[in-house]
Structure 1
Amino acid sequence: MTTARMDFTVRLVRGERELHEVCAVRAHSYGHHVPELQAALQTPDATDRLPGTVVLVARDKASGRAIGTARIQRNHPRPLALEASVVLPEPVARQTRAEITRLAIVPGADPLVRPMLVKACYLYAVAAQIRWLVIGARSDSLIRIYRRLGFADLLPGAERVPLAHAGGLPHAVLAFDVVAAERTWHALQHNLYPFMVETWHPDLQLVADQPVADLPVPQAQPA
């Protein structure tokens, strides 16, 4: 297995300070494209603190600054937020599933931040025995990105539907088969296979008490 180091780390958010940091990333990223959502994203919402929800933060090593984030909500103990707006197809609805929301990256961040956040979501789903990852994507460019990452359209004709938890804006709904992913990538000789399966990224840390390496150490302030 290849080992690859990154210029940033990805791990689970710990505590209120970090949660507010990722909210600033959300507001900056989404507000750039959808200004009417910016104010609502500046503070944590109810889903951030629900049982069954984890939030990821990507943090630049050199500056210690939060540069990306994603949230994973499992369908237990509550239905996915997306299920308030969409009836999922039966093969997905009858199995364990999780929704990726609030995936946001600051402009100018390392281009590997997005695939690393997706890898983190995939590995979390494997560890939590989640069969499906679902996501809503609004723009054509994002839809293409997620299709290349292995997501497939869930709705007939790639229909877009308004999502109440995403400002009522029309989104495509896509799903990712966690269990089939590795063998599918391998069979297709997909360029994601080495990155997702054959590379160990020490900077991707999903164990809650795992130390964070290579981050700036805060210096004591003079009295």
Structure 2
Amino acid sequence: MANIVFNNTRQPAANPVFSRAGVGAPVAIELLPFTVRPVRTEADLRKAVAVRHAAYARHLPDFARSLEQPEAADYDGDTVILLAESKADGSALGSTRIQTNFRQPLHLETSVDLPLWLATQRLAEVTRLGIVEGRIGRQVKLALIKACFEHCEQSGVDTAVVSGRAPVDRQYEQLLFTDVFASRDPVTLRHVGNLPHRIMYFDIASGQERWEAARHPLLDFFCNTRHPDIDLGRQAPAAWKHGLPRGQQASGAVVVGLAA
């Protein structure tokens, strides 16, 4: 992930803008060869499902057969699906799904009991991340991960929790995620083909500070660069406007799972 080079246009912003780097700090503007946006139509959803299925089929062909059609969770009122599309021809390059726990438990919670400090928070589970093969796919993966972080920030979420199977879990380590359970033992997840996954977390508020301390190679991409082609809108999920889910406390978490 650290060696990815983007083939796009990068330039300083004409005027200082607000960014994670600090109020008034100048940021770079970087144009991508694709866009990332929420799914809005049935046609959008079909494109997201197609690229999702193809990504899983490369690594988990048996499980991928269950992903040929949209899942019930894709239509949930608390679900947001992100779609990456090529600017050149509009083809789908990647997608991921974000589900909140306002009306129902997360899928992850059917397989594992989260520790109290996490289970009492507002949660969102990000699943079904799938991308096309090749260099452009690696670029799309980073953009979708950044979009998940941005969605987390916009929604007032504080802690990201990820489920990663080997060797994908190493990518989370590179992003400075930490194991939720000290044993680091994998957990079998029912909604991902009963495959073992590590459960890891990331504190959003301290993320930039930790990336800076580690001189992380993706610091500028995540924190100091504005990507106009990543457009999530500014509206939090409608269900979250009415208070915390299931009487939980003020802080929150996002659960992320990489598929490809």
What's the TM-score, normalizing by structure 1?
A: 0.88
2:216 to 186, 190, 201: 190
Q: Which amino acid aligns with 2:142?
A: P
Distance 1:57 1:184 in 2: 29
SS of the aligned residue for 1:107 comes to coil
Counterpart position of 1:22: 48
Give yes or no for the alignment of 1:124 onto 2:151.
yes
Counterpart mapping for 1:69-218 below 5 A: 69-110=95-136, 111-140=138-167, 142-207=168-233
Q: Secondary structure at the match of 2:206?
A: helix
Distance 1:57 1:72 in 2: 12
Unaligned runs of 5+ in 1: 210-223
Detail structure 1 runs of 4+ shifted over 3 Å in the superposition: none
The percentage of aligned residue pairs carrying the same residue is 38
Q: CA deviation at 1:160?
A: 0.7
Deviation at 1:162, TM superposition (A): 1.0
Write the deviation string for residues 19-46 of structure 1: whole angstroms up to 9, x where unpaired: 1111111111111111111221111112
- In the alignment, is the contact (CA less than 8 A) between 1:134 and 1:175 conserved in 2? yes
Distance in 1 (CA, whole Å) between partners of 2:126 and 2:104 is 15
Q: How many residues align?
A: 208
Residue identity in the other structure for 1:19? L
User: Helix, strand or coil: the match of 2:129?
Assistant: strand
Structure 1 residue 132 displacement after superposition:
2.0
Counterpart check, 1:53 vs 2:60: no
- Distance in 2 separating the partners of 1:135 and 1:81: 12
Is 2:58 the counterpart of 1:32? yes
**Can you list the C-alpha shifts for 1:176-208, whole angstroms capped at 9, x where unaligned?**
222221222233332222111110001101018
What TM-score, normalized to structure 2? 0.76
Following the alignment from structure 2 to structure 1, what is the Cα–Cα distance between the partners of residues 86 and 176? 27
Shift of 1:150: 2.8
CA displacement at 1:159 relative to structure 2: 0.8
